[in-house]
């Protein structure tokens, strides 16, 4: 069944599956593999140390796929705040047509991108933030339920409520993000009103994901109970794979008298977390994972994964349609 949704039509993709931005994971290899498989691959801007490195990564991706791909720009507290405007300028100069934005106060970046005619998908964890993003002129919302990996927001609303609320209230098309790993999930998201799904953790566990094999095997072993929330005390709640480092952070978070962010900074630092993906030691630093980690049982190529999702979604939707027909 060819998928024909607002997302596939506007983005020029075959299957309504987006590979969301992932710090230290969203490199050319993964983005190109997802785009070649018929979904939308996305490079993560801040994974590149400078805007010029992002330019090179975009050019490298172009040599690996002829299909559309996007760039993620996330605006969240950072130990070394980046020059977001400069990253956005590179995206525009390189002729990128699709950007996923996320985080706080995205107004100036979205305005700049929209002025250049870029299609913007904005990720948000509440309907209130979605409404603000609509005022900024975004083309799609990426509705991020509490199940999701990384920055879950502070409202803790899971996708069963959030997606239906989006369908009931938003005048702009949306995709479903957080908790998706298979075609049954895609079928459910479409039924709830979404135009497609976004997946992060599932794509980390593919052949092409540029992370250590041992971390992929750790994802296969993990259960849905193996994530932990940290940084609520600093209004930057983040879901991570639970390990010794996240346990230490939670202890400081509970017990610290000062509440200084500096106390946990060495533990949650992205520089340290990044090494997990190169040294393969899941306990070395913090790394992001969604509750969907409990639904991931293999390490397929992106092509095999996307084809399987397409087939499962089709089978799910057609078998439910058959059930819905009255018996004569």
Contact present, 266 and 252 (Cβ < 8 Å): no
132 burial (CB, 10 Å; 0-12 / 13-18 / 19+) is middle
Binding test (CB under 6 A) with ligand NAD, winner from 8, 61, 67, 72? 72
Q: Which x/- pattern over 26-65 shows residues binding ligand NAD (rule: CB under 6 A)?
A: ------------------x-x-------------------
Q: Does residue number 246 form part of the binding site for ligand NAD (CB under 6 A)?
A: no
| Cα 164 to Cα 16: distance, rounded to the nearest angstrom | 18
- CB closest to ligand NAD, residue no: 270
Q: Does residue number 141 form part of the binding site for ligand NAD (CB under 6 A)?
A: no
Q: Given the structure tokens 């978070």, which residue do they identify?
A: 253
Site for ligand NAD in 257-296 (CB under 6 A): 261, 268-271, 273, 288
Quick one: which of 244, 225, 251, 236 has its CA closest to 287? 244
Number of residues that bind ligand NAD (CB under 6 A): 23
Q: Does residue number 77 form part of the binding site for ligand NAD (CB under 6 A)?
A: yes
Q: Which x/- pattern over 165-204 shows residues binding ligand NAD (rule: CB under 6 A)?
A: ----------------------------------------
253 burial (CB, 10 Å; 0-12 / 13-18 / 19+) is middle
The interface region with ligand NAD, picked from 74-82, 85-93, 124-132, 157-165 by CB under 6 A, is 74-82
Binding test (CB under 6 A) with ligand NAD, winner from 23, 35, 67, 316? 23
User: Token pair for residue 214?
Assistant: 């041992």
| Cα 292 to Cα 307: distance, rounded to the nearest angstrom | 19
Q: Does residue number 78 form part of the binding site for ligand NAD (CB under 6 A)?
A: yes
Q: Does residue number 74 form part of the binding site for ligand NAD (CB under 6 A)?
A: yes
| Cα 22 to Cα 47: distance, rounded to the nearest angstrom | 8
């Amino acid at each position: 069944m060819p998928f024909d949704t607002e997302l596939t039509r506007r983005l020029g993709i075959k299957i309504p599956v987006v590979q969301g931005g992932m710090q230290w994971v969203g490199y050319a290899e993964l983005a190109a593999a997802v785009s070649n498989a018929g979904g939308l691959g996305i490079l993560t801007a801040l994974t590149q140390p400078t805007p010029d490195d992002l330019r090179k990564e975009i050019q490298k991706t172009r040599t690996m796929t002829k299909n559309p791909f996007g760039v993620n720009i996330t605006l969240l507290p950072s130990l070394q705040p980046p020059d977001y405007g400069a990253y956005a300028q590179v995206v525009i100069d390189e002729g990128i047509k699709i950007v996923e934005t996320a985080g706080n106060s995205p107004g100036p970046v979205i305005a700049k991108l929209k002025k250049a005619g870029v299609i913007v998908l904005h990720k948000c964890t509440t309907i209130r933030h979605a409404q603000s993003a609509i005022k900024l002129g975004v083309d799609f919302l990426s509705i991020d339920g509490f199940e999701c990996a990384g920055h879950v927001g502070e409202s803790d609303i899971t996708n069963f409520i959030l997606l239906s609320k989006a369908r009931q209230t938003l005048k702009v098309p949306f995709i479903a993000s957080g908790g998706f790993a298979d075609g049954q999930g895609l079928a459910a998201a479409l039924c709830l009103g979404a135009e497609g799904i976004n997946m992060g953790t599932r794509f980390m566990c593919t052949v092409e994901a540029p992370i250590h094999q041992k971390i992929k095997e750790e994802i296969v072993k993990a259960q849905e109970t193996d994530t932990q929330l940290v940084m609520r005390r600093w209004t930057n709640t983040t879901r991570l794979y639970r390990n010794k480092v996240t346990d230490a952070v939670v202890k400081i978070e509970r017990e610290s008298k000062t509440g200084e962010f500096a106390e946990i900074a060495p533990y949650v630092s992205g520089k340290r977390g990044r090494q997990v993906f190169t040294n393969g030691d899941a306990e070395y630093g913090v790394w992001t994972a969604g509750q969907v980690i409990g639904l991931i049982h293999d390490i397929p190529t992106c092509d095999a994964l996307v084809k399987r999702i397409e087939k499962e979604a089709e089978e799910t939707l057609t078998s439910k349609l058959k059930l819905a027909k009255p018996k004569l």
